[in-house]
Structure 1
Amino acid sequence: MVSKIIKKTPTKTIKNNRRQQRRKKTPVKNASTAASLVAASINKSFCTCHRRLIKIFSKLARIATPKKKSPRKQGYQLLHKASEETRSGVVKALFDDNGVSVPLPPLVSSKKGTVFLDLDETLVHSKPSIPPEKYDFVIKPVIDGQKVEFFVLKRPFVGELLESLSKNFEIVVFTAGIEVYASQVLDRIDQKGLISHRLYRDSCKEVDGRFVKDLSDLGRDLKRVVIVDDNPNSYSFQPENAIPIPPFVDDLGDEELKKLIQFFDQFDEIEDMRDVVKSYASQFSQGPENLEL
């Protein structure tokens, strides 16, 4: 009996030692599991934020009218008038319930001409989120439920252009930008209320994924209409009414709007504004440096 007890004692001691070792390892195992859960949670939050940022910036990328190629590299060319067949195939954005475009209110004076001005890269340049070196003001529209900061730089002479045009012309800003963004920009650059009407993306027509500004449905005589835009796609329906302008980014020495002021000063007794516009656009197609005012 004594010998049996002696033989069993070491075995029991070994089992107890093993249990104690397992107990010591348990906290380490739990800590490792907790760390994995925390890492997984952080990774999930990061992915969620990443998807939201992609959604916001993909929306911002569609604010302005898309361009085929950079006009800085290619230069501008006079466009041929779009065919009636092409016009009938466009997708209308926001018109009345019957699909008919709604014209602008009648002009106070039939002798007045109308100047349609583009906004982005024509009157201003704006950049979202990251502040550039130069900007005049900040707007914070809510896009897709997210408040986004835009840092806006005004093109030199934009105030002077509006003042000058308002004396003899009806001013209409026609932008392919969305209203929630563009309206805030216009509130800041036109605090005197010199702009008669504002037209946004929902007044454009969409052709092959590009936003076109059709001037024929707005209740204005095309003989008395001019559109100023940096994007040739925008005026492809009425290229004969268009004054092309180089896109503006951040050159504070830019004088393109100053040239426009001088150009429009000669519109006193002109029956068809397209005749003068044609001359201006022809010079521009050879290069902006060849313009004669």
Structure 2
Amino acid sequence: MRPKPNVCCSYVAGRSVVSLFYTISSPSLRSSLASPGCMQRSFGSSTKGCTGSTKKTRGRGLVHSLFCCLRADVSEPPSPHGSSSPPAAPEENGSLTRAGISEPLGRFLLPEVKLTDREKLCVVIDLDETLVHSSFKPITNADFVVPVEIDGTVHQVYVLKRPHVDDFLKRMGELFECILFTASLAKYADPVADLLDKWSVFQARLFRESCVFHNGNYVKDLSRLGRDLNRIVIIDNSPASFVFHPDNAVPVVSWFDDMSDTELLDLLPLFEGLNEVDDIYSLLRQHRTS
């Protein structure tokens, strides 16, 4: 069951920032860390197993179990020497979290498509470095702050929204069946999505446990969604995430803090075009090679 958040308001650099406070009990984290896949994702490099030999390693592992990040330079919450964005470790496979409720759905990850969405494309949208950038290091212009308590210690996660993300999500929700699919754990991603998705665009939310661990990476297997593969498009900044279905992908450049970025806005004409065609592959191929 989803933990009930407490909502508070804090100030970062004079701005009012919405926060959700989540308390995480250590037993559930330890059980997730005990799984074979408990390792930090370092894109393009080898993964490292989790160990519990020292208090420092144990604490670091607990924090890593919450988040996912593609940057190899990210490690743990801020120390006197600085540090940065959220990495992580997996739980079990095969559940869907929608509106905060996690339940097994058998063969497919998604429930049966709604009648109102049957003629729509299913668009799978990534979270970190696609829609937002999150960091343990304070961000002065953060849009959200999500404090998470781990074993009595509160770690502040600062979240910055990619430029034009609100307009992008609103338009996507008007056109498509939109699914949030992130390799991060729900403990972090769910409260971020609560704050980000003002229009309830996402019909479902899929997290780390719904990924397939393959060759050291967490892959989003579109064939497990329960939708016609010819009618699915995935937007993601990580090629490893869509390695099983590259022809269905709209790759985006990883975003961290460039406030002049217009990528999401620039993608809207492509998706409006995809909404009008029967063969999505030709248009997607043309976009990737242009």
Question: For this structure pair, what is the TM-score category when the shorter chain's length is used for normalisation?
Answer: 0.5 to 0.7
Is 1:213 the counterpart of 2:216? The answer is: no
Q: With structure 2 as the length reference, what TM-score do the two structures score?
A: 0.66
Offset of residue 123 of structure 1: 0.1
Distance 1:264 1:98 in 2: 29
Q: Taking structure 1 as reference, are residues 104 and 144 closer, same or farther at Cα in structure 2, changes over 3 Å only?
A: farther
Distance 1:110 1:103 in 2: 13
Is 1:168 the counterpart of 2:175? The answer is: yes
Distance 1:143 1:123 in 2: 26
Query: Does the 8 A contact of 1:139 with 1:151 survive in 2?
Result: yes
Offset of residue 248 of structure 1: 0.4
Q: Where does residue 166 of structure 2 map in the other structure? A: 159
Query: Does the 8 A contact of 1:141 with 1:184 survive in 2?
Result: no
Is 1:267 the counterpart of 2:274? The answer is: yes
Query: Does the 8 A contact of 1:223 with 1:271 survive in 2?
Result: no
Unaligned stretches of 5+ residues in structure 1: 1-46, 70-90, 284-293
Q: 3-state DSSP class of the match of 1:125?
A: strand
Query: Does the 8 A contact of 2:124 with 2:234 survive in 1?
Result: yes
Which amino acid in structure 2 is aligned with residue 246 of structure 1? V
Q: 3-state DSSP class of the match of 1:211?
A: strand
More helix by share: 1
Which of 52, 57, 64 in structure 1 is aligned with 2:68? 64
Which of 114, 122, 136 in structure 1 is aligned with 2:130? 122
Distance 1:125 1:273 in 2: 29
Q: Where does residue 256 of structure 1 map in the other structure? A: 263
Q: 3-state DSSP class of the match of 2:168?
A: helix
More strand by share: 2
Q: What root-mean-square deviation, in Å, do the aligned CA atoms of Structure 1 and Structure 2 show?
A: 2.8
Q: Taking structure 1 as reference, are residues 97 and 203 closer, same or farther at Cα in structure 2, changes over 3 Å only?
A: closer
Offset of residue 143 of structure 1: 4.6
Which of 189, 193, 197 in structure 2 is aligned with 1:182? 189
Distance 2:179 2:275 in 1: 19
Unaligned stretches of 5+ residues in structure 2: 1-52, 74-90, 96-102
Q: 3-state DSSP class of the match of 2:179?
A: strand
Distance 2:142 2:255 in 1: 13
Q: Taking structure 1 as reference, are residues 125 and 97 closer, same or farther at Cα in structure 2, changes over 3 Å only?
A: closer
Number of aligned residue pairs: 213
Q: Taking structure 1 as reference, are residues 144 and 276 closer, same or farther at Cα in structure 2, changes over 3 Å only?
A: farther
Q: Taking structure 1 as reference, are residues 208 and 258 closer, same or farther at Cα in structure 2, changes over 3 Å only?
A: same
Could you say which structure has the greater relative contact order, defined with CA pairs below 8 angstroms and 6 or more residues apart? 1
Offset of residue 267 of structure 1: 2.7
Query: Does the 8 A contact of 2:146 with 2:192 survive in 1?
Result: yes
Query: Does the 8 A contact of 1:142 with 1:180 survive in 2?
Result: no
Distance 1:106 1:98 in 2: 13
Which of 29, 49, 60 in structure 2 is aligned with 1:54? 60
Is 1:113 the counterpart of 2:117? The answer is: no
Query: Does the 8 A contact of 1:112 with 1:168 survive in 2?
Result: yes
Q: Where does residue 10 of structure 1 map in the other structure? A: none
Is 1:135 the counterpart of 2:142? The answer is: yes
Distance 1:276 1:221 in 2: 17
Offset of residue 223 of structure 1: 1.6
Distance 2:288 2:152 in 1: 42
Please list the CA deviations of residues 69-106 of structure 1 after superposition, one character each: whole Å capped at 9, or x if unmatched: 9xxxxxxxxxxxxxxxxxxxxx9723598974443322
Offset of residue 114 of structure 1: 1.1
Q: Taking structure 1 as reference, are residues 144 and 182 closer, same or farther at Cα in structure 2, changes over 3 Å only?
A: farther
Distance 1:110 1:98 in 2: 19
Q: Taking structure 1 as reference, are residues 141 and 110 closer, same or farther at Cα in structure 2, changes over 3 Å only?
A: same
Distance 1:201 1:56 in 2: 15
Offset of residue 168 of structure 1: 1.4
Q: Where does residue 94 of structure 1 map in the other structure? A: 94
Query: Does the 8 A contact of 2:110 with 2:204 survive in 1?
Result: no
Q: Taking structure 1 as reference, are residues 66 and 157 closer, same or farther at Cα in structure 2, changes over 3 Å only?
A: closer
Q: With structure 1 as the length reference, what TM-score do the two structures score?
A: 0.65
Offset of residue 135 of structure 1: 1.3
Distance 1:144 1:224 in 2: 44
Which one has the largest radius of gyration?
Answer: 1
Q: Taking structure 1 as reference, are residues 145 and 272 closer, same or farther at Cα in structure 2, changes over 3 Å only?
A: farther
Q: 3-state DSSP class of the match of 1:148?
A: strand
